[in-house]
Amino acid sequence: MFNLRKLALLGLLPLALAGCRQDMHDQPRFKPLAQSDFYADLRSARTPVEGTVARGQLHEDTYFYSGKIGSSAGDFMPFPVTEDVLARGRERFNIYCAPCHSRVGDGNGFIPSRGFPRKPPSYHSERLRRAPLGYFFDVITNGFGIMPDYASQIPPRDRWCIIAYIRALQLSQGATMADVPSGQKVPSEAPQFEEPGSGATLPVVAPKSANPQPEEPK
Amino acid sequence: MQIFHRSTNTISRATIYGAVFVVAALFWAAANIQRSPYVTYAGVARPQPVPFSHQHHVAGLGIDCRYCHTSVETSSFAGIPPTKTCMNCHSQIWTNAALLEPVRESYRSGKSLVWTRVNDLPDFVYFNHSIHINKGVGCNTCHGPVDRMPLMYNYASLQMEWCLDCHRAPDKYLRPRDQVFNMRYEPPASDKPVRLDGKDYTDQLALGADLIQKYKVRNPMDITTCSTCHR
């Protein structure tokens, strides 16, 4: 008799455990950007109290965080430009800027063609070729015209990397024969693509075949 | 007096013998239901306040994952873009579309859009996006063909056996870091080699083994201990 009762209790155990299971799956704690009934705006993510400075966020280097000296834009990089900086700049430029400005910076990106009232200016215009580096930093940080600010999407160091890369684009697009080291072939051959990119991906460069396509036998 | 016919002896034996199969079948059915989309929701699109199409934005327009999911490389959480990120473009494009009214309303009022979470790991699992990205796990290895998802669904079961499948043998899945966000990446094949440090690989296991060395992926013994994820 007792055994039977114990057996019945054992039978109920899985049900009790099943009850725990979902509680452990959905614990009553704040997960990133999750909704919370506790606050009036229903956000579990809170902004810091006004005036607080988080560790490591005291912006002492004002040029690094604003691109300005006093009220005018400065024209130097706050850190040395290395190959890594340019590579980082190219990667970030292609993510955040190229959708509108295009990968070469001529303003013919795909997104504006979908219905923007006007396309962004080319970096290769006289005005932007002469613009100081700090000016680009200010535009990325605060926006300009219909371009929104990218302060929350691109951290300051990446903004500077992008600016270094924009300068590289300007130099490459405005290059003349005199800039080409002797012995270098000019112009470089345009790459052949196998297929268009998906958009998120670069097009696949077709392998250079050593033998050109054989002609039709006669 | 004999109530039951002698043949019932055979029937009762067969029944006892058959019960083994019945019980086994029940376990089998339970295991399969537990792995099915009925429980895991794999492949099931959830209702969202705006029918956002990853297919359109990724494959159609060519926007990189990181344009919106900005913290995926540096944080445990990939990041859901604020409404302002939507408005970067939609202040100019489709400004009158009824479909986008919840987005504009959110931007005007400052109230968050309430998206339904699609990839929801149990809370007793510690998961960090950044380490997976930095060790060469592609987005679509776990999230599936997001560039072909008009509505978002979770691709994987998100069950522990699925996690362990990769943690036990990461060399079967890793890819070079510069290909992590490439939605069209194909694992190395003899006709489509994958290039890493000037070397062409035609075999995933060879590539995976070298990537484990290069990215210092810890050995399966370390990354399959309980406390790796249940901490």
pLDDT tens string for chain B (231 positions)?
678 888 888 998 999 999 999 999 999 999 999 899 988 888 899 999 999 999 999 998 989 999 999 999 999 999 999 999 999 999 999 999 999 999 999 999 999 999 999 999 999 999 999 999 999 999 999 999 999 999 999 999 999 999 999 999 999 999 999 999 999 999 999 888 998 888 899 999 999 999 999 999 999 999 999 999 998
CB burial string A152-184: b at 16+ within 10 A, e below: ebbebebbbbbbbbbbbbbeeeeeeeeeeeeee
d(CA B152, CA B55): 9
d(CA B20, CA B138): 44
Cβ pair A105, A122 in contact under 8 A: yes
Closest B-chain CA to A43: B112
Cβ–Cβ of A200/B62 closer than 8 Å?
yes
Give the DSSP H/E element, type plus range, for residue A151.
none
pLDDT of residue A181: 79
Closest B-chain CA to A143: B88
A contacts of B194 (beta carbons < 8 Å): none
d(CA B210, CA B97): 50
Residue among A1, A182, A157 nearest A80 (CA):
A157
Interface test with A, best of B67, B126, B133, B139 (most A CBs within 10 A): B67
Cβ–Cβ of A200/B94 closer than 8 Å?
no
Percent of chain A with pLDDT over 90: 43
In which band, very low, low, confident or very high, does the pLDDT at A218 lie, cut at 50, 70 and 90? very low
Cβ pair B58, A199 in contact under 8 A: yes
pLDDT tens, A166-208?
999 999 888 877 787 777 776 666 667 776 654 445 667 777 6
Cβ–Cβ of A43/B112 closer than 8 Å?
yes
Please indicate whether residue A216 or residue B185 has the higher confidence score (pLDDT).
B185
Cβ–Cβ of B62/A27 closer than 8 Å?
no
CB burial string B182-210: b at 16+ within 10 A, e below: bbbbebbeeeeebebeeeebeebeebbeb
Averaged pLDDT for residues A207-215: 55
Residue among B149, B157, B81, B74 nearest B121 (CA):
B157
Nearest to A198 among B59, B77, B117 (CB): B59
- The tokens for B105 are 């309303």
pLDDT of residue B207: 94
A contacts of B79 (beta carbons < 8 Å): 32-33
d(CA B72, CA B127): 12
B contacts of A199 (beta carbons < 8 Å): 58-63
Cβ pair A203, A193 in contact under 8 A: yes
How many whole angstroms from its chain centre is CA B120? 10
The radius of gyration of chain A's CA atoms, rounded to the nearest angstrom, is 28
Closest B-chain CA to A45: B112
Q: Which residues of B touch A (CB under 8 A)?
A: 58-67, 70, 76-77, 79-80, 82, 84-85, 87-89, 91-94, 110-112, 114, 117, 122-124, 147, 181-184
Residue among B133, B131, B209 nearest B178 (CA):
B133
d(CA A154, CA A12): 55
Whether residue A37 has pLDDT greater than 50: yes
pLDDT of residue A15: 54
- The tokens for B82 are 């604020």
Cβ–Cβ of A99/B61 closer than 8 Å?
yes
Strand-pair partners of A144: A147
Q: Can you spell out the DSSP letters for B58-73?
A: IIIT---HHHH-TTTT
Parse chain A into domains and list their residue ranges.
81-174
In which band, very low, low, confident or very high, does the pLDDT at A47 lie, cut at 50, 70 and 90? confident
Nearest to B92 among A27, A117, A200 (CB): A117
In which band, very low, low, confident or very high, does the pLDDT at A57 lie, cut at 50, 70 and 90? confident
> φ, ψ for residue B67 (rounded to 5)?
-60, -40
pLDDT tens, A89-139?
999 999 999 999 999 898 888 898 888 988 899 999 999 999 999 999 999
Closest B-chain CA to A199: B62
d(CA B153, CA B136): 23
d(CA B170, CA B224): 11
pLDDT tens, B135-194?
999 999 999 999 999 999 999 999 999 999 999 999 999 999 999 999 999 999 988 899
* CATH superfamily placement of domain A81-174: Cytochrome c-like domain (1.10.760.10)
ipTM, two decimals: 0.88
